[in-house]
Amino acid sequence: MLSFGLPRPTDTIAGKVGVAGNSRRVIPKKACVLFSRAASAWVIMKTTSQIDPTSVREAVRKTYGQIALNEQKSCCVQDSASCCGSERPAATAAKSLGYSSDEIAALPEGADLGLGCGNPQAIASLKPGQTVLDLGSGAGFDCFIAAQSVGLSGHVIGVDMTPEMIAKARANTSKAGITNVDFRQGEIEALPVADNSIDVIISNCVINLSPDKLRVFREARRVLKPGGRLAVADIVRTAELPPELARDLAAHCGCVAGAATIEELETMLREAGFTEIRIRPKDASREFIRRWVEGRNAADYVVSATIEAVKPTEACCGPTCCK
């Protein structure tokens, strides 16, 4: 679904008009294209999806808002021909992702909505006193586990764009009397977090939902301290999506249609200025992913993976010097 090319800044492509930096670009009618300029290179991320980024964001906001309000019990868009599959009991899903019974039992009731695809805590190596940021924190599941790891001398920040999720997470915080977690409403493409303030960024099955992943990674680098780490569980694409699936908003909200390939993620992370990039697919995840799209085996196209990267301790001058 996605491919990379390096057109000249003066190239013209017939179709819809898009904007890249200060230059206007023309986007093919059958593509959703993300442009960015780093040094003298142009990078294009092209998909067969005809869904514009605003529609994706609004669908994601609505879907997960309904989940937070318990109006919808899965990541599916209601009344859609495509859906992310059967309901998953939250505790069962968490155990299947590698969380321990003790971790789950210690959580406030209602924190685990069963929306993850992996366990970022397993690769985060959190330590007491650290400041941790969770991208797309939902009802607070991973934030509350991270809070136990960093202790009262540490701090955890959760960012979510859905007001209903933020309200639910804050209510869970109050119920449990947790004092070292802070939930902030905002988009992961424009984080409400100070520069150079975070030790570790975690995220669980959220970045795939963003129509502007490069901007997400640039924001992540901005807020990380020098030497800070990215420790993410997310979905990667392993095969070309059928056009009808790529166009399906439910498949976007269900963490399938918006997934990038490992190569594309590596390219974006390098361009954002990260080093020590490691992306490891988890083939065992195909067992639960296969039910995410009604009438299809989603595991034919996507798989869960861990994504790790480091912000260099020295200033980076561009995509070619940060290898």
pLDDT digits (tens, 9 = 90+) for 294-318: 888 999 999 999 999 999 997 655 5
Q: How far apart are CA 113 and CA 130, in angstroms?
A: 26
What number is the average pLDDT over the span 146-170?
97
Q: Which of 36-45, 46-55, 98-107 shows the highest mean pLDDT? A: 98-107
Largest interatomic CA distance in the chain = 58
**Tokens, residue 308:** 């790790």
Lowest mean pLDDT among 44-58, 93-107, 288-302: 44-58
Q: What is the pLDDT of residue 79?
A: 38
Main-chain dihedrals φ then ψ at residue 134, nearest 5 degrees: -110, 120
The overall pTM is greater than 0.85: no
Instruction: List every span in the chain annotated with CATH 3.40.50.150.
Output: 50-310
CATH number for region 50-310: 3.40.50.150
pLDDT digits (tens, 9 = 90+) for 264-300: 999 999 999 999 999 999 999 999 998 888 888 999 9
Confidence of residue 66 (pLDDT cuts 50, 70, 90): very high
Closest CA to 128 of 155, 158, 149: 149
Q: How far apart are CA 216 and CA 129, in angstroms?
A: 25
Confidence of residue 3 (pLDDT cuts 50, 70, 90): very low
CA distances to 12, 137, 140, 149, 202 from 109, rounded to whole Å, are: 54, 16, 11, 19, 22
Closest CA to 157 of 149, 168, 146, 167: 146
Long-range contacts of 266-271 (CB under 8 A, 24+ apart): 267/4, 267/43, 268/43, 268/45, 268/213, 268/214, 268/217, 269/217, 269/230, 269/307, 269/309, 270/319, 270/322, 270/323, 271/36, 271/38, 271/43, 271/214, 271/217, 271/319
State the pairing for strand pair 302-310/275-282.
Answer: antiparallel
Q: How far apart are CA 42 and CA 154, in angstroms?
A: 40
Main-chain dihedrals φ then ψ at residue 158, nearest 5 degrees: -110, 130
- Cβ atoms < 10 Å from Cβ of 280: 12
What number is the average pLDDT over the span 130-151?
97
User: 27 - beta bridge partners?
Assistant: 16
What number is the average pLDDT over the span 118-133?
97
- Cβ atoms < 10 Å from Cβ of 300: 15
